[in-house]
Amino acid sequence: MCPDAHSLQSRHVQCEMICPWCKTTVEDDWHAFVGCTVARESWYWVGLATVLQPRVGTVSSLTDFVFDICRSESRDIAGRVAVLLWQIWAARNDVIWNDAHHTSTSIGRTSLDAWQQ
């Protein structure tokens, strides 16, 4: 599990519990990478909606979600997912630490650029 707000609070770290992007939901790892509108739209923008949609509602955790992708998809798709997850996390942290707001388009574009390199 990544150190999202929910995980940090459970370890007695004082931090804001609400998602830094949508400001409406308690942030856990699923919300940070899949559930939040900015994260979800990033999956669509980068062309991975067909990987995302069949798994939403059928897996119980982000860990299961990632393992299922690694087991079921090609190396190319799994690699693109890994890069997207990293870019979502980097953009989320940029909001928190630098007050720099990224759109799903910019996250997707950065993810595609990183994958092509």
Task: Give tens-digit pLDDT for 98-108.
Answer: 989 899 999 99
Residue 91: other Cβ atoms inside 10 A = 23
The answer to the question of residue 54 being in a domain is yes
| The model's pTM | 0.84
pLDDT band for position 2 (cuts 50, 70, 90): very low
Residue 20 lies in a domain: no
Domain range for 56 = 29-116
Is residue 24 in some structural domain? no
63 domain-assigned: yes
- Structure confidence at residue 93 (pLDDT): 87
Residue 50 lies inside a defined structural domain of this protein: yes
88-to-14, 49, 66, 73 alpha-carbon distances in Å: 22, 15, 14, 20
Whether residue 22 is contained in a domain is answered as no
Name the CA radius of gyration of the chain, rounded: 14
The 10s digit of each residue's pLDDT in 15-67 is 567 888 888 888 888 999 999 999 999 999 999 999 999 999 898 899 999 99
Number of domains comprising the chain: 1
8 is a domain residue: no
Q: Quote the CA–CA distance of 95 and 71 in Å, as a whole number.
A: 32
Domain assignment of residue 78, yes or no: yes
The token pair at 47 is 């062309």
